[in-house]
Amino acid sequence: MSKLSEYLKSSYDELMNKVSWPSWEDLQESTIIVMIASLIIAFIIGIIDLASGSALGFFYQIFQNQ
């Protein structure tokens, strides 16, 4: 049990004293960048989905009429 308590103490010490946490401004900036990138990627995937759905519908329609 001593090893576990020592591990927890050292983990807590590392998180509180040795890790460099970003400032609030850096965190907000990074969050905005991630949100914008996510929206752009979602938009691109939506366009690809619409294009492939239309293309497949066109090919299905060609082969259905034969």
Which residues, 6 or more positions from 30, have their beta carbon under 8 angstroms from its beta carbon? 22
Higher per-residue confidence, 53 vs 63: 53
Distance CA 66, CA 55 (A): 18
Q: Over the stretch 11-62, which tens digit does the pLDDT of each residue have?
A: 999 988 888 889 999 999 999 999 999 999 999 999 999 999 999 999 888 8
Instruction: Specify the pTM.
Output: 0.65
Four-point Cα dihedral 41, 45, 46, 48, nearest 10: 140
If you ran DSSP here, which 8-state letter would residue 15 be given? Answer: I
